[in-house]
Structure 1
Amino acid sequence: MKNNLRVLLLAAGPGLLAPVGSALAQTPAARPAIAGQSAAVGNMPLSLQQAVDYAIKNKSSLLATRLGEQTARARVGEIRAAGLPQVSVAANVADNFKLQKSLVSFPLSQTVLTQESLQNANSGQEAVLETRQLAVPPQPFAFGLRHAGNTSASVSQLLFDGSYLIGLRAAKVYEELAKKQTQQAEIDVVEQVSKAYYSTLVARERLQLLARNVQRLDTILYQTNQTFKAGFAEKLDVQRLQVQRNNLVVEQQKAERLTELSVALLKFQMGLPQDQAVQLTDSLGAAVVDAGALRQRLGVASFATGGGVTGLGSVPTTPAPATSNADAQNRQDQQTALSGARPGQLAATFNYNNRIEFSTLETQQALAGLDLANRRAGAYPRLVATAAYGFTGSANSWGNLFAFRGPDSRAANGFPNQNWFGFGNVGLSLQIPVFDGFRRKYQVQQARIQQQTIERGFETLRQSIDLQDAQSRTTLINALDVLDNQKANLELAAEVARVSRVKFKEGVGSNLEVVTAETSLREAQTNYYAALYDVLVAKVDRDKATGELYNQAKK
């Protein structure tokens, strides 16, 4: 991202930063409103804090991330719902146009009167009749009537499930993870918007400086042309200044075009419609960081002077003798500054939890632990209470089925003709897993390996954070040193250009000397603003590396 912004800054060549300046106050030509976007109304005042706040609320990528956070909350509700009573109501009717038959086997017997039994009976004696079993095969019978229906309501309540209890804890951790992912996305947006805004501020200041350079060169060109007309200057002097002015005007035109591109980049990072005109309200002076305070926070002195924070001064002289302890401390500070390492007292106070990546990994570790516990809980019994109540009925026709005759109903002959009957039950369902083919065993192994993998990631993340911290610190220190140097060069180039103009005006200097001095001044200006932008970007990177960027944006 930093490289992309620098491309905008340097796109016009070595002599120009990507500009955003006075053109910011101009409203772009009206364009048709894009579907889904409101039409732009006037200029939108925009400070850095306002830009960050707008981006956090309206950036489309962040809105999508927050939808994921809402999904996590809905998932928590889904898991909790499994422990609430489950109620269901069912009803159905059926036309059994061909009733199913079942074979029924039942014994059949017959009483046999033998000749002997008959003679005994005739003679007045007791006669015993014989009973013989008949060999009857199973016979088909159809049970039920053609039309049938039933309706019921059932309730179940989970009484104990180890996986459910662990799932409740995991759901809360999962929701926390979604929030941290949203925070990570917000940090990235704050970084992008801050860099784009700083790029705009630096470019605006550079564009205004280009305008002043053109005015100053116009004055010199006018004076030289008048001197030429009076016969005290050569035509070559006028032409040399004219060439320089033409080149400077071309640079200014390129700067104005690149202004729109830089503003468009800022709007994109904010999620702001491109047809909305903006007016930056922060000044570059307010955005410039306090180099002294930064060096104090970093625990290093000025690299150039070794003893202050004012930057380059006069030509360095031999330092005053110092005690051996002071020399050793000075060498240690310089080595620390060059290596980018944190001093001992700062390292002791560095909190890895300030980095959202570390906090997110801790949450993932907690989820992995709960997943492992959930796999193990699969061996626990599961107890559910159930209850059901309903009615079932049958008839030979639809009309009789929907007559809904109860137990008090009688037919014309006085016999009961009830066709709907109630039923109900309550019970407990206990499920005890006994053997699942070692499936749970391997699931536990996978969960344990995943947990160990995350634990190994902590050391890698710590090393990565340490490296980012050292890199951002070194980059910021180097950028401060370069800024000090470029500021001194700018002051020297401005003084050389001023003296050259005075000498030329008094007739003791050459026109070529003025042209050379003006070119060197513009180069020094470009280098200074590039160095200033590098410091601002390095400050953003440093705040992100130490975990302070998000907190500063929330202030």
Structure 2
Amino acid sequence: MALSLQQAVRYAVANKPSLLGTRLAEQTAAARVGEIKSQGLPQLNVATNVADNFKLQKSLVDFSSFGGAPLNGTTLTQADLAKAQAGQTVTLVPAYGVAPATGPTPLAFGLQYAGNTSASLSQLLFDGSYLIGLKAAKVYTDLAKKQTQQAEIDVVEQVSKAYYSTLVARARLGLLARNVQRLDTVLYQTNQTFKAGFAEKLDVDRLRVQRNNLVVEQQKAQRLTELSVALLKFQMGLPQAQPVTLTDSLGAAVVDAGTLRRNLGAASFGTGGGADGLGGVPSAPAGLSQGASSAPPTPGINNGQPVQAQAAFNYNNRIEFSTLQTQQALAGLDLRNRQAGAYPRLAFTAAYGFTGSAKSVSDLFAFRGPNSRNSAGFINQNWFGFGNVGLALNIPVFDGFRRKYLVQQARIAQQTIERGFETLRQSIDLQDAQSRTTLINALDVLDNQKANLDLAADVARVTRIKFNAGVGSNLEVITAETSLREAQTNYYAAIYDVLVAKVDRDKATGELYTQAK
């Protein structure tokens, strides 16, 4: 798999398992929003049940309170019969007998087997909490997206650093291979000179020791390069068995130091005369005598930042700041939601169903309606329908101050987020200054190590020429080669520091994600 830095970042953003997990959380947030919205849609439920009342519940009934029938004490005379036969109204005396004085009688209502089935419908008409929840749904989704973006920024940072580390390790490995070849040439020439009697065996042995050390260093660099590739695959979410080839070169990856210095306001390493390297040692300001000393700089001016950095930093470029703003909006909606718990709640309700009972299970499932009759012609209906429609109004009156304390908690949470803004601003300011200083220092070190590398290479070249001409010692060659390899190691370490500092700088200014996209 051929990989440039952009391809590696693109693959990682699309395939790294940790990011996939974060996107699942984003989908969970979208599902949560759907759950909130569903509360305002019609709610339809169907229920059914069958029960075996193997022991019916009984209730006590006092029949004496209903008044008694004339069981005795009423006399029907012939005159009463005659009036009744003539169509006249007859009032018996007494009209009603006195009810017998009995105690409460236990009575069981219903039959052993019972069942019912029903469908109920409800539609929310007004609920303050629901209306605020709809507003919070979009904010909640935005928060999940920003959290995903934060995870993507971290992945871009990790992949970029791992890619640069591999480039530096690969370039250093190639340089070590060339050093071994060059040392082999010097060793061969020295050995031939020794055989001709113009060099000592000690000179040959010194070079062999130097070569052995260099070969061991080359082997270590080879293993470290393989480890860098493995780390890059891990940061990308790529299987370790997948072979890769990095298509970017280290030369193309090295940033333009001059442009960076102009953007950062760093002084030139060569002359110390400013970002453009203009001017040497500054002359005395006008109006001051030769022996006068200049006044100390006014403390606090520019906060120690270069002129290019005096413009106000746009905190919204940082995803952390934007995420905190979203959390603040969500906390405000949560506060309003808890306050809305004091509002009435109105809903439309409707239900329709059937209920039945019987002495046996088979009789219960006979499902006899109002037109059903038995063999004697009597109605024997065992299932009866019912239905209702209405409005349900719920008015909170007193909840033991529960809502009061919920509102207090929401206010405290909102204030905590507001306090966090100042802390985050200070943290971003510190990261901005720290990343600028680190990058400036890394650029200065890179310039210094580049100059040292050029000097060490020139010294090694002249030393070899002198040794081949017979006017230099073998010890000088070994010392020069050692210094050259040290300069090379320091140079590539400085390159890596600059690349990593540039990534940290882009992350601090909020530009890393934009560049990756």
Normalization by structure 1: what TM-score?
A: 0.84
What residue in structure 1 maps to residue 135 of structure 2? Answer: 169
1:523 to 478, 486, 492: 486
Q: Which moved more, 1:258-267 or 1:96-105?
A: 96-105
2-side partners of 1:285 and 1:113: how far apart? 127
2-side partners of 1:114 and 1:418: how far apart? 39
What residue in structure 2 maps to residue 542 of structure 1? Answer: 505
Q: Which moved more, 1:134-143 or 1:261-270?
A: 134-143
Q: Secondary structure at the match of 2:510?
A: coil
Deviation of 1:411 (Å) = 2.2
Task: Judge conservation of contact 2:265–2:308 (CA < 8 Å) in 1.
Answer: no
1:129 to 88, 94, 97: 94
Task: Judge conservation of contact 1:493–1:520 (CA < 8 Å) in 2.
Answer: yes
What residue in structure 1 maps to residue 474 of structure 2? Answer: 511
What residue in structure 1 maps to residue 7 of structure 2? Answer: 50
1:422 to 357, 374, 385: 385
Q: Which moved more, 1:515-524 or 1:134-143?
A: 134-143
What residue in structure 1 maps to residue 85 of structure 2? Answer: none
2-side partners of 1:300 and 1:324: how far apart? 25
2-side partners of 1:113 and 1:235: how far apart? 154
Question: Which amino acid is the alignment partner of residue 319 of structure 1?
Answer: V
Q: Secondary structure at the match of 1:437?
A: coil
1-side partners of 2:105 and 2:47: how far apart? 35
Q: Deviations over 1:221-275 (max 9, x none)?
A: 1111111111111111111111111111111111112222121111111111111
Task: Judge conservation of contact 1:475–1:538 (CA < 8 Å) in 2.
Answer: yes
1:109 equivalent to 2:72? Answer no
Q: 1:365 to 1:289 in 2, by over 3 A?
A: same
Question: Which amino acid is the alignment partner of residue 198 of structure 1?
Answer: Y
State the number of aligned residues. 495
What residue in structure 2 maps to residue 390 of structure 1? Answer: 353
Deviation of 1:67 (Å) = 1.4
Q: 1:464 to 1:110 in 2, by over 3 A?
A: closer
Q: 1:472 to 1:320 in 2, by over 3 A?
A: closer
Percentage of pairs with the same residue: 78
What residue in structure 2 maps to residue 210 of structure 1? Answer: 176
Question: Which amino acid is the alignment partner of residue 37 of structure 2?
Answer: R
1:78 to 20, 26, 35: 35
What residue in structure 2 maps to residue 363 of structure 1? Answer: 326
What residue in structure 2 maps to residue 251 of structure 1? Answer: 217
What residue in structure 1 maps to residue 19 of structure 2? Answer: 62
Q: 1:183 to 1:251 in 2, by over 3 A?
A: same
Task: Judge conservation of contact 2:265–2:275 (CA < 8 Å) in 1.
Answer: no
Question: Which amino acid is the alignment partner of residue 50 of structure 1?
Answer: Q
2-side partners of 1:306 and 1:398: how far apart? 103
What residue in structure 1 maps to residue 271 of structure 2? Answer: 305
Deviation of 1:206 (Å) = 0.6
Deviation of 1:213 (Å) = 0.6
1:141 equivalent to 2:107? Answer yes
1:319 equivalent to 2:281? Answer yes
Q: 5+ residue gaps in structure 1?
A: 1-43, 326-330
Task: Judge conservation of contact 1:382–1:431 (CA < 8 Å) in 2.
Answer: yes
Question: Which amino acid is the alignment partner of residue 459 of structure 1?
Answer: E
2-side partners of 1:55 and 1:114: how far apart? 105
2-side partners of 1:216 and 1:511: how far apart? 15
Q: 1:110 to 1:469 in 2, by over 3 A?
A: closer
1-side partners of 2:401 and 2:15: how far apart? 50
Q: Secondary structure at the match of 1:319?
A: coil
What residue in structure 1 maps to residue 460 of structure 2? Answer: 497
Q: 5+ residue gaps in structure 2?
A: 81-90, 288-293
Q: Secondary structure at the match of 1:57?
A: helix
Task: Judge conservation of contact 1:405–1:417 (CA < 8 Å) in 2.
Answer: yes
2-side partners of 1:189 and 1:114: how far apart? 104
2-side partners of 1:335 and 1:223: how far apart? 64
Structural RMSD (CA): 2.8
Structure 1 moving runs of 4+ over 4 Å: 110-115, 308-311, 320-325
Q: Secondary structure at the match of 1:136?
A: coil
Q: 1:65 to 1:90 in 2, by over 3 A?
A: same
1:378 equivalent to 2:341? Answer yes
Q: 1:317 to 1:97 in 2, by over 3 A?
A: closer
2-side partners of 1:403 and 1:202: how far apart? 87
